[in-house]
Structure 1
Amino acid sequence: MPHVASATIVSTDRNYLHHIDAGHFAMTTDEPAKLGGQGSAPAPFDYHLASLAACTAITLRMYAERKGWNLGEFRAELRLDRDEDGKLHVQRTLHSDQPLTDEQWQRPLEIVANTPVTKAMREGVGIASVRGDMTASS
């Protein structure tokens, strides 16, 4: 199976603040103060939406470049809500500073419905957990 991405997270001594290495990028995550964190970094669901927003923008920009479209400044706004049954829902709103007709908007809306991250979130991803041993030598 081809490797797609990797990430490692390490806890700190500050409530829910953690350090993440994703590829060769360093990030931090925390929970809001109302949930017992410091509110000092994006929370896990912030990263969840950010990954979808990034994939949306990159995929649409790639498509526009291949087609010779001028999207100008493109923006995607994402919001995550939980309904009365506890199910999560994402509302994704797309904007362009270019004057696009309803017909021109149809294709970008179809494209973003099928980005790789959209599909992974919509269809689900298999997750397996195993026990590691931090005392084992490398």
Structure 2
Amino acid sequence: MAFAKVHIGLTNWAADIVTGRHSLISDEPAALGGEDAGPSPFQLLLASLGSCTAITLRMYAERKGWPLEAVDIDLHYRAEGEARSITRALTLQGDLDEAQRARLADIAERTPVTLALKGGVAITTTLA
């Protein structure tokens, strides 16, 4: 189970995040009134998807004994009207055959964060 705590005070728009033993800041770019002190919320979303994908692919390749040397992932979030989309481009390095590459692309479609985003996640909000 994952958890995070977020605090924002009067500084536009920096939010302090604590998750596990890790602390970081999320902020908006200067163009949106922030100070760009950390990644924006959507940048964090893309980072979550990308890191989950990369970790899952390395774990899978290692279990199979495949020669995957590195994974690079470029991600982009777009919102046009009501339509929202994420594009994810995988670059797989290593002496992989086409069947292995295709399998890794298939696995990328079923990583935990990918499935959460594609399936939607119920969010319950309460006041403390």
Would the TM-score normalized by the shorter structure come out above 0.5?
Answer: yes
Distance (whole Å) between structure 1 residues aligned to residue 108 and residue 68 of structure 2: 14
> What is the SS of the residue equivalent to 1:48?
helix
Unmatched 5+ stretches in structure 1: 133-138
In structure 2, the residue corresponding to 1:72 is in which secondary structure? strand
Please report the TM-score for the alignment, with normalisation by the length of structure 1: 0.87
TM-aligned CA deviation for residue 119 of structure 1: 0.3
Alignment of 1:49-64 (within 5 A): 49-64=46-61
1:8-58 C-alpha deviation (Å, 9 max, x unpaired): 111133210110001111010100111111111100001000000010001
Q: 1:98 aligns with which of 79, 94, 110?
A: 94
More strand, by proportion: 2
Q: State the match for 1:37 in structure 2.
A: 34
What is the total number of aligned residue pairs between the two structures? 128
**Counterpart code for 2:77:** L
Q: 1:119 aligned to 2:115?
A: yes
Normalised by the length of structure 2, the TM-score is 0.94
Larger-Rg structure: 1
% same residue: 39
5+ residue gaps in structure 2?
none
